[in-house]
Chain A
Amino acid sequence: MADRADVAVPTGPEVWRRHAQDHRVEQSLDESSAPLSARARFLRRFLQQRPAIGALTFLVLIVLAALFAPLLAPYDPDQNDIRNLLSGPSGDHWLGTDHLGRDTLSRMLYGARVSLLAAVQAVSIALVLGVVPGLLAGFFGRWVDVVIMRATETIMTFPPLLLAIAIVAVRGPGLFNAMLAVGVVFAPRFARLVRGLVLGVREETFIEASRSIGTPAHRILRRHVLPNILSPLVVQISLALGFAMLAEAALSFLGLGVRPPEASWGALLQVAYNNINRNSFQAIPPGVAIMLCVLAFNLLGDGIRDSLGKEIRRGT
């Protein structure tokens, strides 16, 4: 310590007190980077997720194909080509024809509309029937929770397919009824998911902080609870869309969904199955399309989940 010179630089508590006085405005926020909204950060992370980007691109292409089916389809989907029954891929019919000589590619394109719409319908119904009860059950607890959860459990005790068949049996076959059934089957799952998420958020101090301000319950639900459960919910929606497509295929396959001659991927698969001994190729296009879409929805869901930063879930 011999080299510590006695230059009279004032030191000690007084220096710190004065120093703190002179620096009262906190400016140490990182000003260099422009403030990124939660959404912008999400997008930046999402763009780095290759599988999810691929899945999204694929789904967008499918949606476009479905939208522009009348322009893209080489034939009328119901037009019979008597000379080509159950043909394999050819120059005239890229994906062959079915047992009535209808062009499979055209039917796939038109079928995409039905299958996608059906999935969206089913998930929307499930959301309407599931999210609100889940929110209420999770937030208010007590008897509200008990009543709603018992109701959902009752629905969940039915085997999903049986429940769907029962609904279709009561309301008659048809795509909307089939999707209503799928929606009813999914609703309790959403209700339970949402309830669980709300239970997690409800204990956060910011909910208590908001209550202490005098915020009414409906505003707390809308401003504090919903935004904080939205992200995991979106992940589940994406996964559910995949499942709903599969369910549509299954119900149509069983003859409970679309009614002939309308095309859906599931209906195509059923027709192909009936004729599988004579031409096995016909099962491949709808089968592959369904598989890829379900896979894409799942990859998209995973990608969204992984892109949700920790700061959205909690703190940093």
Chain B
Amino acid sequence: MTALENREPAAGSAADTLLRVDDLHVSFKGRGRARKVRAVNGVSFELGRSETVGLVGESGSGKSTVGRAIMRLIPADSGRVQLDGRELLSLGRSELRAARKDVQMVFQDPYSSMNPAMVVADVIGEPLDVQAGMGRSERNTRVAELLEAVGLSQRHIERYPYEFSGGQRQRIAIARALANHPKVVILDEAVSALDVSTQNQIINLLEDLQAETGVSMLFIAHDLAVVRHIARRTVVIYLGQVMEVGPSERIFEHPAHPYAEALLSAVPVPNPEIQRRRERVVLRGEPPDPTNLPLGCPFVTRCRYAMDVCADTMPELTPVDGGGLVACHLQTAGPNLAGRSLDALGVEAEPIVPPTR
């Protein structure tokens, strides 16, 4: 992941970069013995102005940790996070407080993300109190405006969070995130806890708000279908490493990484006929112990195309036909799969013997 700058913009980066995450590393102290869990292991991606990027992965992939590290809610070990060219990771305490205005977050659980003892006016108004220092009436005018913007009535300004449904609370959380006109909103599984019927309302709302305000969104989710819809570009991560990044259309139609392929294949299709017909790639096993990752590609233990080289060498992110980058030896050492589905290889594909280098 060196020299991200040297790559042509087509290679999975944004045209007009607003947020740039470069070689981000985050680790936690493991339980018991002081083994380090490397949650994020050299993640790089870019987010353009008014763009939505999806960050997909399963639990333990480090996708939420990336979001929290960008927000500096947890410390990063190394790497760079630049917003409009300004480094966020090295900001001092008071600079950071001011910078937080520009990057906001919407959390997964609409129930625990709001103080139950506060009314909506105070929930949404808090960033205005803290950052903008508005007077009470001015603040409440802005809160009312925000409520209308997210599809709630300003009559609800004195209500308590518990009176709202999950979807309505998530609207309140979005209003809170947008209160100070941030440049980036990080949505951490923001629709995962919602009912199907409400989920789409929130997605539509987010798209409307983006069209109105031009805010950039980092959409962190495990639900691939939702990401497919909302994100123009997608980053697929597994065990803290980027497996594939590129235009959503290309990744979802022609995944270049075996993990992306398996992930897509595992999503149940709401159509009984297709379910009966289709051959799915069911991944064997579970992700390896995060305190004891394989030397090479983290996916090697579950990959059906695993080669010898995969076990000890982590593949570089390499450009794929159709746009984007993929970190897989099949791209460099094996047959070039770019532009066609891995299914073309057939389920019975034998491990490919790597050419000697």
**Are A and B in direct contact (Cβ within 8 Å)?**
yes
Chain B residues within an 8 Å CB radius of A211: 73
Task: Evaluate contact between A206 and B112: CB separation under 8 angstroms.
Answer: yes
A109–B336 Cα distance when bound, in Å, is 95
Task: Evaluate contact between A20 and B204: CB separation under 8 angstroms.
Answer: yes
Q: Does B98 contact A (CB under 8 A)?
A: yes
Q: Which of A80-88, A160-168, A221-229, A297-305 contacts B (4 or more CB under 8 A)?
A: A221-229
A209–B161 Cα distance when bound, in Å, is 15
Task: Evaluate contact between A29 and B164: CB separation under 8 angstroms.
Answer: yes
Least Cβ–Cβ distance between B125 and chain A, in angstroms:
11
A123–B171 Cα distance when bound, in Å, is 43
Q: Does A311 contact B (CB under 8 A)?
A: yes
A208–B117 Cα distance when bound, in Å, is 16
Contact A29 B204, CB 8 Å, known A206-B114, A314-B111, A314-B112? no
Least Cβ–Cβ distance between B351 and chain A, in angstroms:
44
Least Cβ–Cβ distance between A60 and chain B, in angstroms:
27
Least Cβ–Cβ distance between B168 and chain A, in angstroms:
6
Least Cβ–Cβ distance between B96 and chain A, in angstroms:
8
From 139 to 176 in chain B, residues with beta carbon under 8 angstroms from any chain A beta carbon are 148, 151-153, 156, 158-160, 162-165, 167-168, 171, 173, 176
Task: Evaluate contact between A204 and B160: CB separation under 8 angstroms.
Answer: no
Task: Evaluate contact between A214 and B113: CB separation under 8 angstroms.
Answer: no
A228–B112 Cα distance when bound, in Å, is 12
A211–B107 Cα distance when bound, in Å, is 13
From 23 to 52 in chain A, residues with beta carbon under 8 angstroms from any chain B beta carbon are 24-30, 35, 37-38
Q: Does B86 contact A (CB under 8 A)?
A: no
Task: Evaluate contact between A315 and B112: CB separation under 8 angstroms.
Answer: yes
Task: Evaluate contact between B115 and A227: CB separation under 8 angstroms.
Answer: yes
Q: Does A205 contact B (CB under 8 A)?
A: yes
A35–B176 Cα distance when bound, in Å, is 21
Q: Does A4 contact B (CB under 8 A)?
A: no
Chain B residues within an 8 Å CB radius of A228: 115-117
A208–B126 Cα distance when bound, in Å, is 13
Least Cβ–Cβ distance between A135 and chain B, in angstroms:
16
From 105 to 124 in chain B, residues with beta carbon under 8 angstroms from any chain A beta carbon are 105, 107-109, 111-118, 122
A29–B113 Cα distance when bound, in Å, is 20
From 122 to 165 in chain A, residues with beta carbon under 8 angstroms from any chain B beta carbon are none
Task: Evaluate contact between B126 and A215: CB separation under 8 angstroms.
Answer: yes
Task: Evaluate contact between B162 and A311: CB separation under 8 angstroms.
Answer: yes
Q: Which of A35, A205, A212 has the most CB of B within 10 A?
A: A212
Nearest CB to that of B127 among chain A residues?
A: A213
Task: Evaluate contact between A35 and B100: CB separation under 8 angstroms.
Answer: no
Task: Evaluate contact between A213 and B107: CB separation under 8 angstroms.
Answer: no
Contact A206 B113, CB 8 Å, known A213-B126, A213-B131? yes
From 300 to 322 in chain B, residues with beta carbon under 8 angstroms from any chain A beta carbon are none
Q: Does A316 contact B (CB under 8 A)?
A: yes
Least Cβ–Cβ distance between B140 and chain A, in angstroms:
16
Q: Does A12 contact B (CB under 8 A)?
A: no
Contact A24 B151, CB 8 Å, known A38-B117, A212-B100? yes
Q: Does A307 contact B (CB under 8 A)?
A: no
Task: Evaluate contact between B168 and A29: CB separation under 8 angstroms.
Answer: yes
Task: Evaluate contact between B153 and A215: CB separation under 8 angstroms.
Answer: no
Least Cβ–Cβ distance between B121 and chain A, in angstroms:
12
Nearest CB to that of A224 among chain B residues?
A: B115
Task: Evaluate contact between B100 and A311: CB separation under 8 angstroms.
Answer: no
Chain B residues within an 8 Å CB radius of A288: none
Least Cβ–Cβ distance between A103 and chain B, in angstroms:
49
Task: Evaluate contact between B104 and A37: CB separation under 8 angstroms.
Answer: no
Q: Does A91 contact B (CB under 8 A)?
A: no
Task: Evaluate contact between A208 and B100: CB separation under 8 angstroms.
Answer: no
Task: Evaluate contact between B156 and A25: CB separation under 8 angstroms.
Answer: no
Chain A residues within an 8 Å CB radius of B200: 20
Chain A residues within an 8 Å CB radius of B115: 206, 210, 223-224, 227-228
A26 contacts which of B111, B168, B204 (Cβ < 8 Å)?
B168
Task: Evaluate contact between A214 and B100: CB separation under 8 angstroms.
Answer: yes
B151 contacts which of A26, A216, A227 (Cβ < 8 Å)?
A26
Task: Evaluate contact between B116 and A212: CB separation under 8 angstroms.
Answer: no
A35–B148 Cα distance when bound, in Å, is 19
Nearest CB to that of B108 among chain A residues?
A: A205
Q: Does A219 contact B (CB under 8 A)?
A: yes
A230–B343 Cα distance when bound, in Å, is 59
A25 contacts which of B71, B152, B163 (Cβ < 8 Å)?
B152
Task: Evaluate contact between A212 and B105: CB separation under 8 angstroms.
Answer: yes
Residues of A within 8 A of B (CB): 20, 24-30, 35, 37-38, 204-206, 208-216, 219, 223-224, 227-228, 311-316
| Sample of 14 further A-B pairs with CB below 8 A, known A35-B163, A206-B115, A314-B112 | A26-B153, A29-B163, A29-B164, A38-B116, A206-B113, A206-B114, A210-B126, A212-B73, A213-B130, A214-B98, A216-B130, A223-B115, A228-B115, A312-B117
Residues of B within 8 A of A (CB): 71, 73, 96-98, 100-101, 104-105, 107-109, 111-118, 122, 126-127, 130-131, 148, 151-153, 156, 158-160, 162-165, 167-168, 171, 173, 176, 200-201, 204
- Enumerate the 5 nearest inter-chain pairs by beta-carbon distance, A residue then B residue, closest first: A214-B100, A315-B111, A311-B162, A227-B117, A214-B97
22 A–B contact pairs at CB < 8 A?
A: A25-B151, A25-B153, A26-B153, A28-B165, A29-B156, A29-B164, A37-B160, A204-B112, A205-B108, A206-B112, A206-B113, A206-B115, A208-B73, A209-B105, A209-B107, A212-B100, A212-B105, A213-B100, A214-B96, A224-B115, A312-B116, A314-B112
